[in-house]
Structure 1
Amino acid sequence: MKKKCPRFKSADLLSGYLLLFLKDNPTHGYSLISKLKELGFEINEPTIIYRHLKKMENFGFIYSKIMPSDEGPPKKVFFITDLGKVYLKEISENIKNRVKVLNIFLEKYERSAEDENSNSVN
């Protein structure tokens, strides 16, 4: 029996990146948004990211603390939890499975294109 590819949503990718960033270094929301933008995420409304962080905090994947800042007022800094690390691993496995499925598609497509070219009459 073939292994079913799990459903993958863009919110999972967003969660994965946020957790990965926090695993490397606890930080505040603005820094997380900057890192996402560097990767090419289009973030027109930063409140979407803050709502996502709040949702992840409600699920127990992250927690936050108000920390003093050298630059201006104190900032809310986010940290990954052990449960967040488990979820990050799950997201990683889902991405690996999705990549396998996508690679199979691309291989089949390329073979069909080659077959089409070899069967065509010029």
Structure 2
Amino acid sequence: MKKNCPRFKGADLLSGYLLLFLKQQPTHGYLLSTKLKNLGFEITDPAIIYRHLKKMENFGLIYSKIHPGKDGPPKKVFYITDDGKNYLKEIIRNIENRIIVLKQFLNEYERSENNEDSNSVN
């Protein structure tokens, strides 16, 4: 029985970024963690990333293979699956829809500020 993919939640950019990075190039967890830190993610415990990758692997969004290390121990390299690519597209659509809603909110706020300024008594 195939598990259902978790739905995108507003702040769940972590899955989106991990899938995007893996779509660009299969890689290991340490490099993924470094890329996220460079984007401003506060990763206090790298195990968080590995747990998230394991969860994504359980949902069939990614898979991993062990590759021998050149100068060290073997590394687990992660790859995106077709389901992962489809889920990434779903995340993108949800982000685009959220951007529309947020822009509408900002426009409404600006209108209310303009109305307030025009209605103020000096």
Structure 1-normalised TM-score?
0.89
**Equivalence for 2:109:** 109
- Cα RMSD over matched residues? 1.4
Counterpart Cα distance in 2 of 1:71 and 1:19 = 27
- Unpaired segments ≥5 residues, structure 1: 1-5
Residue 84 (1) aligns with residue 84 (2): yes
Structure 2-normalised TM-score?
0.89
Which structure ranks higher in relative contact order (CA pairs < 8 Å, sequence separation ≥ 6)?
A: 1
Shift of 1:28: 0.5
Runs of 4+ that moved beyond 4 A: none
Deviates more, 1:79-88 or 1:39-48: 39-48
Counterpart Cα distance in 1 of 2:28 and 2:39 = 17
- Unpaired segments ≥5 residues, structure 2: 1-6
- Say if 2:8 and 2:91, in contact at 8 Å, map to a contact too: no
Identity of aligned residues (%): 69
The aligned length equals 116
Counterpart Cα distance in 2 of 1:65 and 1:7 = 26
**Equivalence for 1:3:** none
Amino acid at match of 1:46: P
**Equivalence for 2:33:** 33
Amino acid at match of 2:28: H
**Equivalence for 1:59:** 59
- Residue deviations 1:64-114, cap 9 Å, x none? 011122231110000000110000000110110011000100000011111
Q: Give the direction of change, closer, same or farther, for the CA distance of 1:116–1:103 in structure 2 (3 Å limit).
A: same
Counterpart Cα distance in 2 of 1:117 and 1:35 = 45
**Equivalence for 2:94:** 94
